[in-house]
Amino acid sequence: MEWATPTLAFYGLGAAALATSLLTLRRRLELSKAKHITLTGHANLARRLASLVPFYDYEECRFFFSDDAPEEIVARRRAGFMRLSALYDARFAETIKHTADVTDRIPDLKFTDTYRVPFQYSRVLRQHLKSAAFVQSSAGVMLSDLDGNQFYDLTASYGVNLFGNDFYKDTIARAVERVGELGPVLGPYHPVIADNVTRLQEISGLDEVSFHMSGTEAVMQAVRLARYHTRRSHLVRFCGAYHGWWGDVQPGIGNPVPARETYTLKEMSDETLRVLRTRRDIACVLVNPLQALHPNAPPPTDASLVDGARSAHFDKNAYTDWLKRLRAVCTEQNIVLIFDEVFVGFRLAMGGAQEYFGVRADLVTYGKTLGGGLPVGVLCGRKHLMQRFRDDRPADICFARGTFNSHPYVMAAMNEFLRYLDTPRARKTYGHLEQTWNARARQLNERLRDEALPVEVANMSSIWTVCYLRPSRYNWMLQFYLRAELLALSWIGTGRLIFSLNYTDADFQAVADRFVAAARAMEQDGWWWHPPAATNTSIKRHLLKEMIAHRLSRNGDRAKPR
């Protein structure tokens, strides 16, 4: 019949549209399943919810019994707190004064100072345990403040300080000498760069090297190249992983703009592998191997330590297996696998995470310590991925510049660092690295257990995280007891203790003694008391109710952060 052909075509089109919709729906479902159940896995939702959290904080009396502790405990906490406050004021007087003079004029300092602890406690805490952000000198594993106090350095300068501050002082001094004749000339290269490229090719096992000014920029360039060469739009990053503060790799809370071409997926998950196998828009997968210490959890900061739920455990075999499976899927689907080794590169093994886990990536970023104490970002990659133009399309280029890239002083300091890796001394350090730091972590945990202190450390070689065994709302107080013992932590507090590898057994012993003493004092001052029925979930529920109540109350709406 005459109408049969258009009708059949119509049904055919309908069926095709239905099939496409069903396939799209299936892909969406697969994507949803590959997202982590927590808010860290749902960046946009997290950002929206964060904007609803009302400001409120505890007055001084509530500060000590936000968990409804009995009077006797509150009195102990108050006395301990005031004792610490007096100690800080006396011992860090000059350093505190200098900090107070500039805090209002340096937003970075204002931010870190405010977010050392959960926001409800921040105001009272800052009034009494004042921030002391200045240091004057370093030697061995110690830092000295403006009052002449000597701290054990547990910050390692955000991980930059791998071999000890004295090493980097020498490195920089020698670098200045080596390229002093040229000075800070940019554009043409100092010859030292050639040796850096050769050494980095060997270390990374990759073909080409580009130099940048920070880890963030190296990651930006890696992702840009992956998109350019695959002609695909999306990057996959894993839940909780930090890759610098560039928008696309830092979706969710902290970034005012939604990252529309980023998928944040579960790490160590078959559902993620399924998404990688089935979607056609994925250019690259970014891995930060540091996440092996706490897969799918964000960097552990004390600002979010509202209970005792922080957990960390490093299972090298399980993570190696995951990386191998990820590698296989990326190869199969022509997805660029990027290892972001800005943090862990050179810290786990001389050949970085690739060597340590025995898995090769297509692009690898380095930074931090590789600059020999100066700012740097480096990208190493396979030849076909590093090219910034197409042989057959001269106008279709992938642009990357940077005024200070390949700065002669940085290149020379990097060269000093890389040449040091060739020395017997460096080889000896790497030879027993993991055993040394695992043994030290075990030893500290045994001491803490022997004294029944409700705290323990988890580690991935020389990178440590403090975990808490009681559902207390005050676990974040430990950072202030540690400071009183002259242990220097970075602003995120007990979530990251990073050691430089020049710690001797005696140095470590001193740190362990002070750590135990700090935990003991905190226990005696009653901060680890908790209601007998409290659990981490009940604390979170309680906090949620508190926030909702403040949101609903007119007071909550009117209150402004101070």
Give the residues lining the site for ligand PLP (CB under 6 A).
158, 214-216, 219, 242-244, 288, 340, 342-343, 367, 377
| Least distance in angstroms from the C-beta of 362 to ligand PLP | 17
| Least distance in angstroms from the C-beta of 167 to ligand PLP | 19
| Least distance in angstroms from the C-beta of 339 to ligand PLP | 9
| Least distance in angstroms from the C-beta of 467 to ligand PLP | 20
| Least distance in angstroms from the C-beta of 49 to ligand PLP | 25
* Residue 406 to residue 372: CA distance in whole angstroms: 13
Write down how long the chain is: 562
| Least distance in angstroms from the C-beta of 316 to ligand PLP | 18
β-bridge partners, 337: 285
Neighbours of 391 (CB within 10 A): 6
Strands of 227-361 (E only): list them. 234-238, 262-265, 282-287, 336-340
* Residue 527 to residue 214: CA distance in whole angstroms: 40
If you write DSSP's letter for every residue of 89-124 in order, what string do you get?
A: HHHTHHHHHHHHHHHTT-HHHHHHHHTTS-HHHHHH
Using the minimum distance from each CB to ligand PLP, give the nearer residue, 114 or 369.
369
Using the minimum distance from each CB to ligand PLP, give the nearer residue, 51 or 403.
403
| Least distance in angstroms from the C-beta of 90 to ligand PLP | 34
| Least distance in angstroms from the C-beta of 286 to ligand PLP | 9
| Least distance in angstroms from the C-beta of 59 to ligand PLP | 36
Using the minimum distance from each CB to ligand PLP, give the nearer residue, 215 or 352.
215
* Residue 43 to residue 340: CA distance in whole angstroms: 20
Torsion angle of the four alpha carbons 20, 26, 28, 30, in this order, in degrees rounded to the nearest 10 = -150
Using the minimum distance from each CB to ligand PLP, give the nearer residue, 267 or 525.
267
Tokens of 240: 């909780």
Half-sphere exposure of 145 (CA within 13 A, CB side): 24
Q: Please measure the distance between the N-terminal and C-terminal CA atoms of the chain and give it in whole angstroms.
A: 80
Using the minimum distance from each CB to ligand PLP, give the nearer residue, 66 or 214.
214
User: C-alpha angle 241/242/248, rounded to 5°?
Assistant: 100
Using the minimum distance from each CB to ligand PLP, give the nearer residue, 124 or 209.
209
β-bridge partners, 402: none
Single-letter amino acid code for the residue at 369: T
Using the minimum distance from each CB to ligand PLP, give the nearer residue, 340 or 416.
340
Using the minimum distance from each CB to ligand PLP, give the nearer residue, 41 or 345.
345
CB 398, CB 224: distance < 8 Å: yes
Q: Is 192 helix (H, G, I), strand (E, B) or coil?
A: helix
Q: Which helix (H) or strand (E) element contains residue 437?
A: helix 433-450
Tokens of 401: 């510049």
* Residue 386 to residue 204: CA distance in whole angstroms: 14
Using the minimum distance from each CB to ligand PLP, give the nearer residue, 289 or 471.
289
